[in-house]
Amino acid sequence: MADKYRRILIKLSGEALMGKNKFGHDINIITQICEDIEAVHDLGYQICIVVGGGNICRGATSQSLGIERASGDYMGMLATVINAIALQSKLESLGVFTRVQSAISMTEIAESYIRRRAIRHMEKGRIVIFAAGVGSPFFTTDTAAALRAAETDCNAILKGTQVDGIYSADPKTDITAKKYANISYKDVIVNDLNVMDTAAITLARDHNIPILIFDIHKKGEILKVLNGTGTYSIVK
C-alpha cells in the first residue's frame, strides 16, 4: 500500500453512475466501480466516498423548471442519498462492510453524519459513503468531498471523471487540448479549469490535500492511480 495515501476519499459524480444512459443508473458501470473500490479496500486502504446526484437531479436544472433554487438543491441532495444506497448495496454484495452517513438526518435509512464515528468506521475497515453533500443548498458535492476529506484526515481526494486528467480544453472536442500532469491549486483557480468548484479547490489547498483526477470508467484505474502507474493529473 502506498503509505502516503493510507486514507482516501473517492469522489464519484452522479453522472459516472449512469454510463451511457440519460438518467439514473447503469448497473454494469456501478458494478465495475464497486469492484475497483473493493480491490483497493482489500489492500488495506481506508476509504470514504462522496457521491453526487447529477444523474437524477441538480438544483440548477430544477430552477430552469421553475422550482426555486434552494428547493431544487434539496432535491439534488436527496438524489445523492439514492446513489449512496445504490453504492452501499452493490459494495455489500461484494462482501465489503459499509455505512451511509447523511448530512440531512433520515435515521431510518442512514446514519447522521458524525465525524468521529465516520473515522472509527474507516479504522474498522468499513467504507463510509457520505450522502446529502454538506446538507445545505448552494453547495456542491465537490465541496462536500473536500470538506469531508479535511474533516476525516484523508491523505488524498480521488476524483473519478469521464476523462483521464485535467486538460486546458475539452479533449473530446479540441485536439489541441493540453494535459496537465501536475498543477497547483492556484493555477486551477486562475485558469478557471473545470476540475472542482473553487470552494472545493480552496478547501483542499488550505488543508494540503492532493486531488487526483482520473478516468473512473477504466477498469482497475483506482489502484493504478494509488500506486502511481495509472494515467491521471494531480493538483497539489
Which residue ranges make up the annotated binding site for ATP?
11-14, 54, 58, 161-162, 167, 170
Residue least distant from ligand UDP (Cβ): 52
The set of residues, in sequence order, having a beta carbon less than 8 Å from that of 144 and lying 6+ positions away, is 50, 103, 130, 133, 134
Cα separation of 12 and 49, whole Å? 7
Phi-psi region of 165 (alpha: psi -120 to 50; beta: other; left: phi over 0): left
Count the site residues for ligand UDP by CB under 6 A: 23
Give the x/- contact pattern for ligand UDP in 165-194, rule: CB under 6 A. ------------------------------
User: Which residue among 77, 128, 156, 203 contacts ligand UDP (CB under 6 A)?
Assistant: 77
User: Which residue among 8, 46, 47, 76 contacts ligand UDP (CB under 6 A)?
Assistant: 76
Grid coordinates representing 126 are 468499513
101 with 120: CB under 8 angstroms? no
Binding residues for UMP: 53, 73, 134-141
Strand, coil or helix: what is 29? helix
- Report CA-CA distances (Å) from 68 to 82, 141, 156: 22, 19, 35
User: Which residue among 5, 41, 73, 118 contacts ligand UDP (CB under 6 A)?
Assistant: 73
Residues in contact with ligand UDP by CB under 6 A are: 13-15, 52-54, 58-59, 72-73, 76-77, 79-80, 133-134, 136-137, 139-142, 144
